Chain A
């Protein structure tokens, strides 16, 4: 025997499960399957830029893990709401129950989130400490924020002069084949597979030195020298943008890092900070406008 209530329950459950599962699958497929920019954003992209350092690889892993959880929670709540809205609408359930307490379920919905948060917190802490702990570094660079450009110095190398990295305007950027608002007239040059310590500070307003593909964002604060590190595992050009409001040209002080082979870097240093061949320029072109999928 089937009462109308049972029928409503079944229909509501089917619709709710369908919507819940559909939402979860859609979120995961769209959220994790998108095209990823390498060293720069990709057109219309909706995912993290691709990783070029171990830190960013771990960051992506933690992000994806948390993303599974939060997609699941969102889909679960959505399904539950849909079920309740169909099953307990006035027409289907004219007489409301009077239940207003259930200790068991209240304990469950307090403990369950705690467990989920523990699952999230452990890898998250590992990432945090990995990001922070400076490994034995092979070289140091110093990035100084100014209104409105970045300057880089190599404290270990006496023959490399300070690099003042100004943004390219739209015409110059097009001429040099670099993306507008990301490309600069002078890159920071570092070797691949090398632990680089970055010292970040500012001489006036606050700025933030950011390279998304490296998983780095470090505020440049006047009077304070902040420290972070990266180990680029791929060659190419990687772009970032200032990420702390610093005045009118906040949007116009990009960061451009050229990661070259160790041999090329040695030649660059020996040549007092100038490229001997056009390899680096090709490198520039390779790095820009390409996505991970194309590589």
Chain B
């Protein structure tokens, strides 16, 4: 083990190397260790990703040609659309980025032995499989007269989610999402407490690695946004009971638009919850493989804070067509455009970090570079959609689908894979096969672009979202888009081949297998790190670089 600054190895207490690792069942099912919980989150994210990916693959199969081919009825298609959104957001991206990498690396990066509340951490994780099971149950219980499951999209707008789906399917979704929401709120409290109180001596806020900053901002967004979702879901729940409340029922003085405001007050910060941790990961990777400290560190940290703050006051740009007052629309237009400024600061700072660097095109660096470019593409179409006037044409068309998949399916997901390949050796102690990893990257990169770039054309040509069938004029680009799904599927196959190969061959890696560019604390530990790290807290020197 490499001596940390200020650490005296000979002074370690006896039994330092006795990790006290519990046996299998206690270790993985009662787990309170942040690294084990992080691994559980990653496994959970992969499983959910497979489920969500299967749903989207079925949708692309269906949409490859006009007409209804694969689904028994239109309701089933809408169920797949809705569940794809919910599962990918709540059970794939968030667990992987925040639960997985956040748990694994935030305590290590700030020099803490574990999370502040290890038992609550355990609860956070185990609420999620419970929630996912609720969502899966909703597939097989009645939604409405047309069949099983909930087909009201992930936005769950009433009256479609109240009178439109009287069956228990949607109740299971409410329960599941409430459980997932509590899981995230507990996780957020844990991260905030850990980051604010458990930093190692000398680790001031302004020396903290950017990934820890990203998770801190994300945790605040979670803490402020999710209770609003919980309230809205609970109001839906009571509205759904016969003779219950009428919050969103116009016949009883309620207002269906009120739900949209509540939902998007949560929903817009949610998109930054998904992308900010990816920003943090990409910053580390760009810095490591350029062999340079991150450019404009403070600007980078506060750009994330700015994105988080402004992200709370732009929600109604999802609702330009609901009939809002024009002055309100003008405000949301202006506020939304403002977000492009801190986002631009981040993009240019990444480029400036690479400028003058000595760039190695490793697998994680390829994912990170692809992230930057694709996030720019997704970002600029966001500028287009921010224009409330133009949005009267583009709202709820495939242009929107293309936009948010560029920032999520290629932004957040590329951030996840970048982090996965960056820290793979650190987490599991072994290195992946570079050919399999490269095949995964290129198939995925080409595949998702072939899926989503043509969807801009579909949107411009006027194709609305959430359509199981479409006029034949849209057929060509839908076919191309579905072809992209097959390429992406091949990429996913290589991802699993990579995993299997890596764990069979077991190529051991050293503490800092990326070399001089990797400067954060996790690279001072063994790979994988000891079961309990930092028995003696590391001391961060004044001149420490980020």
Chain A residues close to B by CB (< 8 Å):
37, 40-49, 56, 58-59, 62-63, 66-67, 69-70, 73-74, 77-78, 80-81, 84-85, 88-90, 93-102, 105-106, 109-110, 113-114, 117, 120-121, 124-125, 127-133, 179-182, 200, 204-206, 208, 210, 212, 215-219, 221-224, 226-227, 240-252
Contact = CB atoms under 8 A, between A and B. Distances in A.
Given A106-B296, A124-B388, A240-B462, 5 more contacts: A90-B358, A127-B387, A205-B159, A248-B74, A248-B151
Contact of A47 (B160, B397, B460): B460
Interface stretch (B187-195, B267-275, B372-380): B372-380
Contact of B461 (A49, A100, A105, A127): A49
Nearest to A173: B471
B462 A117 contact: no
Contacts of B296: 100-102, 106
Contact of A212 (B157, B290, B348, B393): B393
A125 B330 contact: yes
Interface stretch (B9-17, B250-258, B437-445, B487-495): B250-258
Contacts of A94: 358
Interface stretch (B47-55, B230-238, B331-339, B505-513): B331-339
A219 B545 CA distance: 53
B461 A218 contact: no
B198 interface: no
Contacts of A133: 326
Given A94-B358, A121-B333, A224-B257, A42 B326 contact: no
B356 interface: yes
B294 interface: yes
Nearest to A93: B358
Contact of A221 (B256, B295, B472): B256
Contacts of A208: 321, 396
Contact of B476 (A44, A58, A120): A44
A268 B323 CA distance: 31
A287 to B, nearest CB: 15
A62 B384 CA distance: 9
A69 B358 CA distance: 31
A11 to B, nearest CB: 16
22 contacts: A47-B460, A48-B460, A58-B389, A63-B390, A66-B383, A84-B354, A97-B356, A98-B292, A100-B297, A121-B333, A125-B333, A128-B329, A128-B333, A131-B389, A182-B471, A217-B392, A221-B256, A226-B322, A241-B464, A241-B467, A245-B157, A248-B151
B464 A243 contact: yes
A250 B73 CA distance: 12
A37 to B, nearest CB: 7
B333 A124 contact: yes
B256 A223 contact: yes
B78 A248 contact: yes
Contact of A210 (B153, B461, B464): B464
A257 B507 CA distance: 67
Contacts of A114: 341
Given A41-B463, A101-B296, A124-B387, A46 B477 contact: yes
A250 B337 contact: no
B291 A46 contact: no
B387 A81 contact: no
A40 B78 contact: no
A211 to B, nearest CB: 10
Contact of A93 (B334, B357, B380, B470): B357
Contact of B292 (A66, A96, A121): A96
Given A81-B369, A121-B333, A125-B333, A41 B392 contact: no
Contacts of A205: 159-160, 164
A27 to B, nearest CB: 11
B471 A206 contact: no
A67 B385 CA distance: 11
B347 A77 contact: yes
B101 to A, nearest CB: 24
Interface string B441-475: 00000000000000011001111111111111111
A218 B369 CA distance: 40
Contact of A180 (B297, B348, B457, B472): B472
A98 B159 CA distance: 58
Contact of B395 (A78, A99, A217): A217
B533 interface: no
A110 B389 CA distance: 26
A117 B337 contact: yes
A269 B381 CA distance: 44
Contacts of B74: 248-252
A168 to B, nearest CB: 12
Nearest to B295: A100
Instruction: Give the interface SS of chain A, mostly helix, strand, loop or mixed.
Output: mixed
B376 A74 contact: yes
B401 interface: no
Contacts of B463: 41
B462 A49 contact: yes
Interface string B156-190: 01011001100000000000000000000000000
B292 A97 contact: yes
A120 B387 contact: yes
B163 A204 contact: yes
B146 interface: yes
B75 interface: yes
A127 B390 contact: yes
Contact of A250 (B291, B295, B377, B467): B467
B361 interface: yes
Given A88-B355, A251-B468, A63 B393 contact: yes
Given A46-B457, A66-B383, A245-B160, A215 B392 contact: yes
Contacts of B387: 62-63, 66, 120, 124, 127-128
Contacts of A98: 292-293
A90 B352 contact: no
Contacts of B293: 98, 100
Given A66-B383, A70-B384, A221-B257, A40 B473 contact: yes
B251 A223 contact: yes
Interface string B337-371: 11011001101110111111111110000000100
A202 to B, nearest CB: 9
B160 to A, nearest CB: 5
A180 B383 CA distance: 34
B299 interface: yes
Contacts of A248: 73-75, 78, 146, 151
Nearest 7 CB-CB pairs, A to B?
A: A223-B250, A46-B457, A127-B389, A97-B356, A226-B323, A70-B380, A132-B326
A117 to B, nearest CB: 5
Nearest to B78: A248
B152 interface: yes
Contacts of B457: 45-46
B73 A90 contact: no
Contacts of B290: 88, 96
